[in-house]
Chains A and B, each alone.
Chain A
Amino acid sequence: MLDAGVLPSVELSDAALVDIVLKGESEAYARLVARYRDRYARFALHMLGNREDAEEALQDAFVRGYRSLHRCGDPARFGSWLLAILANRCRTAGGKRTRHERRFVSAEDRHYAIALDHPADASAWREEIARALARLDADQREAFLLKHVEEMEYEQMSVVTGAGVSALKMRVKRARERMRRMLTEGEDAPTR
Chain B
Amino acid sequence: MTNRSLVLFTVALLCAPVALRAQDARLDARLDARTRDAVVALIDSARAEGIPSEPLVQKALEGASKHADGPRILTAVRLLAGELGDARAALGPSSTDAEVIAGASALHAGIAPAALSRMRASRTHGSLTVALAVLSDLIARGVPGDTATTVISALTGAGAPDAELLRFQQGVERDIAQGATPAAALGVRAKSAFPSAAPLRTP
Contacts and interface: CB of A to CB of B under 8 A. Distances in A.
B20 to A, nearest CB: 47
A160 to B, nearest CB: 27
Interface of B: 171, 174-175, 178-181, 184-185, 187-188, 191-192, 195, 199-202
Given A111-B180, A116-B184, A116-B202, 14 more contacts: A55-B174, A100-B195, A103-B188, A108-B179, A110-B179, A111-B179, A111-B181, A112-B175, A112-B185, A116-B188, A116-B200, A116-B201, A117-B201, A117-B202
- Binding site secondary structure of chain A: loop
Nearest to A52: B171
A192 to B, nearest CB: 39
Given A51-B174, A52-B171, A103-B192, A116 B187 contact: yes
A101 B192 contact: yes
A187 interface: no
Nearest to B188: A114
A81 B201 CA distance: 45
Nearest to B176: A112
A108 B184 CA distance: 14
A109 interface: yes
Pick the most buried of B174, B178, B181: most chain A CB atoms within 10 A of its CB: B178
A107 B203 CA distance: 22
